[in-house]
Amino acid sequence: MIPEVGLFAAILSLLMAATQAVVGLAGAARGIRSWMMVGTKAARAQLLFLGVAFGMLVCSFVTNDFSVLNVASHSHTQLPMVYRFAATWGSHEGSLLLWTLMLALWTAGVTWFSRPLPADTVARVLGVLGVISAGFLLFMLTTSNPFLRLLPAATEGVDLNPLLQDAAMVAHPPLLYMGYVGFSVVFAFAVAAPLVLSAFNKNLVFFLSPSQVATGYAPIGRTFRLGGLVEEGSLRRDGDGLTARFVVTDTVNRIPVAYAGPLPDLFKEGHGCVAQGTLAPDGTFIAEQVLAKHDENYMPVEAAAAIEHAGK
């Protein structure tokens, strides 16, 4: 029963790693914070399940459960207790399980010590680590199952490799693995960095003046801000009564704007405004949001800057 519990825990850890990778990366890409938190919780759950799996394998070695092929091949009843414990990672299968446990420990460490970082950055790092964990776990479960049963059970085990029956070798592999696996975190941050920069670039909203738009600086189809004065006599509404059309100018060039929605109460012709949206192929600025001045003595900073720049 103990090996089956360990195997089930290892399978659950694979599911958690996949969830951590898929949901976490998707949440970061779409900006859904709840999905990002799922990645964090999955990483911690993965550590829990791998801890259970590793504990079950240790228990199998300590109790001389020779119905487990891994135990029968790397331990025997006369082996001192400390080496029975060390035999847990004395095989290829056990080493892989220890490796994934160390990786889960490092991943959980990222969730605990990266709180000052932006949530989307952490989610991307955890997503990359989840992909790595899922790969190792899938390989282990399909080709190197440490919980594989031996039927009928052996009456006595073979032996642990004599080279591993040394006090230093008890501590050496875990410490070595801890160091090696730690570089996965560095790798994950390195891979996540371009993803973060790409997302930042997509979400970056530039400000352009009517003159800059008129001279071709505005990217077609990309969101940016347009600021200037609302031209006198330019405001009108379409037949649907909802879409407002007006012209924004910096006194040098003029850009037609279309906005489907209620305009701010302080929106007036001859006063400054800032609109955010995209430029249509016909040169019309399709606004998604319109900001007007707050009082008679204030003009949006971007609009004032655009007019001042155009006047030079």
| Domain containing residue 273: CATH number | 2.40.50.140
43 and 155 co-located in one domain = yes
Q: Which of 203, 229, 261 is the last residue of a domain?
A: 203
pLDDT of residue 301: 56
pLDDT of residue 298: 44
In the predicted model, is pLDDT for residue 13 greater than 80? Answer: yes
CA atoms lying within 13 Å on the CB side of residue 95:
13
10 Å Cβ neighbour count for 81?
9
pLDDT of residue 95: 92
Among 97, 204, 188, which Cα is nearest to 140's?
A: 97
Task: Look at the chain and report how many structural domains it folds into.
Answer: 2
> Which of 141-145, 260-264, 292-296, 302-306: highest mean pLDDT?
141-145
pLDDT of residue 129: 95
217 and 300 co-located in one domain = yes
Question: Measuring CA to CA, how many Å separate 138 from each of 15, 133, 149?
Answer: 10, 8, 19
226 and 199 co-located in one domain = no
In the predicted model, is pLDDT for residue 92 greater than 80? Answer: yes
Among 148, 132, 115, 118, which Cα is nearest to 46's?
A: 132
Distance CA 28, CA 196 (A): 9
In the predicted model, is pLDDT for residue 22 greater than 50? Answer: yes
At 309, is the pLDDT very low, low, confident or very high (cuts 50, 70, 90)? low
In the predicted model, is pLDDT for residue 106 greater than 50? Answer: yes
pLDDT per residue as tens digits for the range 43-69: 999 999 999 999 999 999 999 988 999
Distance CA 281, CA 186 (A): 44
Question: Measuring CA to CA, how many Å separate 193 from each of 2, 120, 121, 126, 185?
Answer: 42, 11, 8, 12, 12
Q: Which of 203, 222, 249 is the last residue of a domain?
A: 203
Among 60, 45, 17, which Cα is nearest to 146's?
A: 60
Q: Which of 168, 203, 238 is the last residue of a domain?
A: 203
109 and 222 co-located in one domain = no
Least confident piece of the model among 27-41, 102-116, 169-183, 281-295: 281-295
45 and 165 co-located in one domain = yes
CA atoms lying within 13 Å on the CB side of residue 192:
26
Which residues have CB under 8 Å from 94's CB, separation 6+? 57, 70, 74, 87, 88, 146
pLDDT of residue 296: 43
Question: What is the chain's alpha carbon radius of gyration, rounded to the nearest angstrom?
Answer: 31
Q: Which structural domain, as residue segments, surrounds residue 290?
A: 206-311
Residue 285 phi/psi, 5° resolution? Answer: -85, 115
pLDDT of residue 308: 61
At 196, is the pLDDT very low, low, confident or very high (cuts 50, 70, 90)? low
At 302, is the pLDDT very low, low, confident or very high (cuts 50, 70, 90)? low
Distance CA 140, CA 134 (A): 10
185 and 211 co-located in one domain = no
181 and 193 co-located in one domain = yes
141 and 274 co-located in one domain = no
83 and 55 co-located in one domain = yes
79 and 199 co-located in one domain = yes
Averaged pLDDT, 140-163: 86
In the predicted model, is pLDDT for residue 221 greater than 80? Answer: no
Distance CA 12, CA 152 (A): 28
132 and 163 co-located in one domain = yes
pLDDT per residue as tens digits for the range 125-138: 999 999 999 999 99
170 and 23 co-located in one domain = yes
